[in-house]
Amino acid sequence: KAGVTQTPRYLIKTRGQQVTLSCSPISGHRSVSWYQQTPGQGLQFLFEYFSETQRNKGNFPGRFSGRQFSNSRSEMNVSTLELGDSALYLCASSFGGSGANEKLFFGSGTQLSVL
Amino acid sequence: AQKVTQAQTEISVVEKEDVTLDCVYETRDTTYYLFWYKQPPSGELVFLIRRNSFDEQNEISGRYSWNFQKSTSSFNFTITASQVVDSAVYFCALSEARGSGNQFYFGTGTSLTVIP
Protein backbone atom coordinates (compact mmCIF):
# COMPACT_ATOMS: atom_id res chain seq x y z
CA LYS A 1 0.00 0.00 0.00
CA ALA A 2 1.56 3.28 -1.11
CA GLY A 3 2.11 5.92 1.56
CA VAL A 4 1.38 9.62 1.45
CA THR A 5 3.15 11.22 -1.49
CA GLN A 6 4.14 14.87 -1.61
CA THR A 7 5.56 16.70 -4.58
CA PRO A 8 7.85 18.38 -5.16
CA ARG A 9 10.37 17.43 -2.48
CA TYR A 10 12.21 20.75 -2.68
CA LEU A 11 11.25 24.19 -3.95
CA ILE A 12 13.13 27.44 -4.17
CA LYS A 13 11.13 30.60 -4.81
CA THR A 14 11.63 34.32 -4.47
CA ARG A 15 9.59 36.78 -2.46
CA GLY A 16 6.34 37.76 -4.06
CA GLN A 17 5.96 34.58 -6.09
CA GLN A 18 3.31 31.97 -5.51
CA VAL A 19 3.70 28.24 -5.08
CA THR A 20 1.53 25.14 -5.26
CA LEU A 21 2.29 21.98 -3.33
CA SER A 22 0.67 18.63 -4.00
CA CYS A 23 -0.30 15.73 -1.76
CA SER A 24 -1.65 12.31 -2.67
CA PRO A 25 -3.11 10.51 0.34
CA ILE A 26 -3.11 6.82 1.11
CA SER A 27 -5.71 5.00 -0.94
CA GLY A 28 -9.04 5.01 0.88
CA HIS A 29 -8.19 8.03 3.03
CA ARG A 30 -10.60 10.92 2.60
CA SER A 31 -9.02 13.47 4.94
CA VAL A 32 -5.92 15.48 4.13
CA SER A 33 -4.32 17.89 6.59
CA TRP A 34 -1.49 20.33 6.01
CA TYR A 35 1.11 21.45 8.53
CA GLN A 36 3.92 23.97 8.48
CA GLN A 37 7.07 22.95 10.33
CA THR A 38 9.74 25.47 11.26
CA PRO A 39 12.63 25.13 13.72
CA GLY A 40 11.50 25.93 17.23
CA GLN A 41 7.82 26.18 16.28
CA GLY A 42 7.04 22.55 15.77
CA LEU A 43 4.12 21.65 13.54
CA GLN A 44 1.56 24.36 12.98
CA PHE A 45 -1.81 23.28 11.62
CA LEU A 46 -2.83 24.96 8.38
CA PHE A 47 -6.10 23.29 7.35
CA GLU A 48 -7.87 20.00 6.84
CA TYR A 49 -9.94 18.87 3.90
CA PHE A 50 -12.48 16.07 3.93
CA SER A 51 -14.54 15.06 0.92
CA GLU A 52 -13.48 18.18 -1.00
CA THR A 53 -14.58 20.52 1.82
CA GLN A 54 -12.42 22.44 4.24
CA ARG A 55 -13.38 21.03 7.62
CA ASN A 56 -10.91 22.76 9.95
CA LYS A 57 -8.62 25.73 9.62
CA GLY A 58 -5.63 26.99 11.59
CA ASN A 59 -4.51 30.57 12.22
CA PHE A 60 -2.72 31.39 9.01
CA PRO A 61 -3.28 34.39 6.72
CA GLY A 62 -5.44 34.15 3.65
CA ARG A 63 -2.34 33.83 1.46
CA PHE A 64 -2.43 30.17 2.42
CA SER A 65 -5.18 28.25 0.71
CA GLY A 66 -5.92 24.73 -0.32
CA ARG A 67 -8.33 22.47 -2.08
CA GLN A 68 -9.14 18.83 -2.40
CA PHE A 69 -10.18 16.94 -5.49
CA SER A 70 -12.72 14.16 -5.87
CA ASN A 71 -9.94 11.55 -5.73
CA SER A 72 -8.89 13.00 -2.32
CA ARG A 73 -5.66 14.46 -3.68
CA SER A 74 -5.00 17.88 -2.24
CA GLU A 75 -3.10 20.97 -3.21
CA MET A 76 -1.89 23.82 -1.06
CA ASN A 77 -1.20 27.26 -2.49
CA VAL A 78 0.77 30.09 -0.99
CA SER A 79 0.54 33.44 -2.74
CA THR A 80 2.80 36.47 -2.39
CA LEU A 81 5.55 34.51 -0.70
CA GLU A 82 7.41 36.03 2.24
CA LEU A 83 10.78 35.04 3.68
CA GLY A 84 9.02 33.70 6.75
CA ASP A 85 7.17 31.15 4.65
CA SER A 86 10.37 29.14 4.33
CA ALA A 87 9.54 25.85 6.03
CA LEU A 88 8.90 22.17 5.65
CA TYR A 89 5.28 21.66 4.62
CA LEU A 90 3.89 18.33 5.68
CA CYS A 91 0.78 16.64 4.46
CA ALA A 92 -1.02 13.98 6.48
CA SER A 93 -3.89 11.74 5.54
CA SER A 94 -6.42 9.71 7.51
CA PHE A 95 -9.77 8.01 7.00
CA GLY A 96 -11.40 11.14 8.37
CA GLY A 97 -13.93 9.55 10.70
CA SER A 98 -15.49 11.35 13.61
CA GLY A 99 -13.89 11.37 17.02
CA ALA A 100 -10.42 12.08 18.26
CA ASN A 101 -8.86 8.67 17.65
CA GLU A 102 -7.91 9.12 14.00
CA LYS A 103 -4.25 8.39 13.37
CA LEU A 104 -2.41 10.62 10.91
CA PHE A 105 -0.09 9.23 8.24
CA PHE A 106 2.49 11.72 7.03
CA GLY A 107 4.33 12.33 3.81
CA SER A 108 8.01 13.30 3.66
CA GLY A 109 7.15 16.93 3.11
CA THR A 110 8.03 19.70 0.70
CA GLN A 111 10.95 21.86 1.78
CA LEU A 112 10.19 25.40 0.61
CA SER A 113 12.92 28.03 0.60
CA VAL A 114 11.98 31.63 -0.09
CA LEU A 115 14.86 33.89 -1.14
CA ALA B 1 -0.96 28.99 25.41
CA GLN B 2 0.57 25.76 24.19
CA LYS B 3 -1.74 22.78 24.45
CA VAL B 4 1.23 20.40 24.24
CA THR B 5 4.54 21.26 25.87
CA GLN B 6 7.77 19.45 25.28
CA ALA B 7 10.18 21.34 27.49
CA GLN B 8 13.25 19.46 26.30
CA THR B 9 14.40 20.96 23.03
CA GLU B 10 17.50 18.83 22.58
CA ILE B 11 18.84 15.78 24.39
CA SER B 12 22.10 13.93 23.86
CA VAL B 13 22.82 10.54 25.36
CA VAL B 14 25.50 7.95 24.92
CA GLU B 15 24.45 4.71 23.30
CA LYS B 16 22.90 2.18 25.70
CA GLU B 17 21.78 4.87 28.13
CA ASP B 18 18.09 5.21 28.98
CA VAL B 19 16.37 8.47 28.08
CA THR B 20 12.95 9.93 28.92
CA LEU B 21 11.20 12.48 26.77
CA ASP B 22 8.67 14.61 28.62
CA CYS B 23 5.27 15.72 27.36
CA VAL B 24 2.69 17.80 29.20
CA TYR B 25 -0.69 18.57 27.67
CA GLU B 26 -3.66 20.77 28.37
CA THR B 27 -7.28 20.03 27.48
CA ARG B 28 -10.78 20.55 28.79
CA ASP B 29 -12.18 17.57 26.91
CA THR B 30 -12.90 14.38 28.80
CA THR B 31 -12.28 12.24 25.72
CA TYR B 32 -9.05 12.82 23.91
CA TYR B 33 -6.12 10.93 22.48
CA LEU B 34 -2.40 11.31 22.92
CA PHE B 35 0.20 10.34 20.35
CA TRP B 36 3.93 10.11 19.91
CA TYR B 37 5.54 10.44 16.49
CA LYS B 38 9.17 10.03 15.43
CA GLN B 39 10.67 12.20 12.69
CA PRO B 40 13.93 10.84 11.27
CA PRO B 41 16.10 13.00 8.98
CA SER B 42 14.03 11.90 5.98
CA GLY B 43 11.26 14.19 7.26
CA GLU B 44 8.32 11.82 7.41
CA LEU B 45 6.65 11.55 10.82
CA VAL B 46 6.29 7.95 11.88
CA PHE B 47 3.52 6.93 14.27
CA LEU B 48 4.72 5.30 17.50
CA ILE B 49 1.77 5.08 19.88
CA ARG B 50 -1.80 6.26 20.49
CA ARG B 51 -3.39 6.33 23.92
CA ASN B 52 -6.96 7.34 24.81
CA SER B 53 -7.83 9.43 27.85
CA PHE B 54 -9.52 6.57 29.65
CA ASP B 55 -6.61 4.17 29.51
CA GLU B 56 -3.89 5.08 32.00
CA GLN B 57 -2.09 1.79 31.82
CA ASN B 58 1.56 2.14 31.00
CA GLU B 59 2.64 0.48 27.80
CA ILE B 60 5.86 -1.22 26.80
CA SER B 61 6.88 -2.11 23.28
CA GLY B 62 10.37 -3.50 23.05
CA ARG B 63 12.78 -0.81 24.18
CA TYR B 64 10.00 1.82 24.19
CA SER B 65 7.67 2.53 27.10
CA TRP B 66 5.08 5.19 27.80
CA ASN B 67 3.87 6.58 31.12
CA PHE B 68 0.46 8.28 30.99
CA GLN B 69 -0.62 10.17 34.12
CA LYS B 70 -3.86 12.16 33.93
CA SER B 71 -3.26 13.64 37.39
CA THR B 72 -0.25 15.53 36.06
CA SER B 73 -1.44 15.74 32.41
CA SER B 74 1.73 14.04 31.29
CA PHE B 75 2.51 11.40 28.69
CA ASN B 76 6.21 10.64 28.90
CA PHE B 77 8.19 8.41 26.60
CA THR B 78 11.20 6.35 27.67
CA ILE B 79 13.71 4.64 25.44
CA THR B 80 15.70 1.94 27.19
CA ALA B 81 19.23 1.06 26.06
CA SER B 82 19.21 3.75 23.38
CA GLN B 83 20.70 3.07 19.95
CA VAL B 84 22.09 5.35 17.26
CA VAL B 85 19.02 4.60 15.12
CA ASP B 86 16.89 6.26 17.79
CA SER B 87 18.38 9.64 16.84
CA ALA B 88 15.46 11.71 15.56
CA VAL B 89 13.01 14.42 16.52
CA TYR B 90 10.15 13.13 18.64
CA PHE B 91 6.78 14.84 18.73
CA CYS B 92 4.04 14.45 21.28
CA ALA B 93 0.53 15.31 20.09
CA LEU B 94 -2.96 15.76 21.50
CA SER B 95 -6.07 15.00 19.47
CA GLU B 96 -9.48 16.42 20.35
CA ALA B 97 -12.77 15.81 18.58
CA ARG B 98 -13.90 18.90 16.67
CA GLY B 99 -17.08 18.99 14.64
CA SER B 100 -17.20 15.93 12.44
CA GLY B 101 -13.46 15.36 12.67
CA ASN B 102 -10.62 15.94 15.04
CA GLN B 103 -7.96 18.55 15.72
CA PHE B 104 -4.34 17.70 16.36
CA TYR B 105 -2.01 19.82 18.49
CA PHE B 106 1.69 19.04 18.31
CA GLY B 107 4.45 19.94 20.70
CA THR B 108 7.56 21.66 19.42
CA GLY B 109 9.48 18.40 19.43
CA THR B 110 12.52 17.01 21.23
CA SER B 111 15.62 16.37 19.16
CA LEU B 112 17.36 13.25 20.44
CA THR B 113 20.94 12.49 19.53
CA VAL B 114 22.39 9.13 20.50
CA ILE B 115 26.17 9.20 20.48
CA PRO B 116 27.93 5.93 19.63
Give tens-digit pLDDT for B1-59.
Answer: 679 999 999 999 999 999 999 999 999 999 999 999 999 988 899 999 999 999 888 88
Task: Name which of B9, B97, B106 is nearest A43 (Cβ-Cβ).
Answer: B106
Strands A87-94 and A105-106 come out as: antiparallel
Q: Measured between CA atoms, how close is A102 to chain B, in angstroms?
A: 7
For the four alpha carbons of B94, A55, A6 and A80, in that order, the dihedral sign comes to: negative
What is the model's pLDDT at position A1?
64
Q: Measured between CA atoms, how close is A43 to chain B, in angstroms?
A: 6
Max CA pair span of chain A: 41
d(CA A45, CA A35): 5
Name the more confident of B52 and A24.
A24
Q: Average pLDDT in the A10-37 region?
A: 96
Name the more confident of B38 and A1.
B38
The residue of A45, A57, A106, A110 whose CB has the most chain B CBs within 10 angstroms, and thus the best one to mutate to test that interface, is A106
Q: Average pLDDT in the B57-71 region?
A: 90
Out of A23-37, A90-104, B85-99, pick the least confident. Answer: A90-104
A35 touches chain B (CB under 8 A): yes
Mean of the per-residue pLDDT values of chain A: 93
Whether residue A22 has pLDDT greater than 70: yes
The residue of A101, A103, A110 whose CB has the most chain B CBs within 10 angstroms, and thus the best one to mutate to test that interface, is A101
B10 touches chain A (CB under 8 A): no
User: Which of A2-6, A95-99, B23-27, B97-101 has the largest mean confidence?
Assistant: B23-27
Name the more confident of B41 and B82.
B82
What is the model's pLDDT at position B1?
65
Chain B residues in contact with A99 (beta carbon < 8 A):
31, 97, 102
Out of A75-79, B88-92, B93-97, B112-116, pick the least confident. Answer: B93-97
What is the model's pLDDT at position B2?
78
What is the model's pLDDT at position A68?
97
pLDDT band for position B103 (50/70/90)? confident
φ, ψ at B53 (rounded to 5°): -70, -15
**What is the rounded radius of gyration, in angstroms, for the C-alpha atoms of chain A?**
13
What is the model's pLDDT at position B57?
82
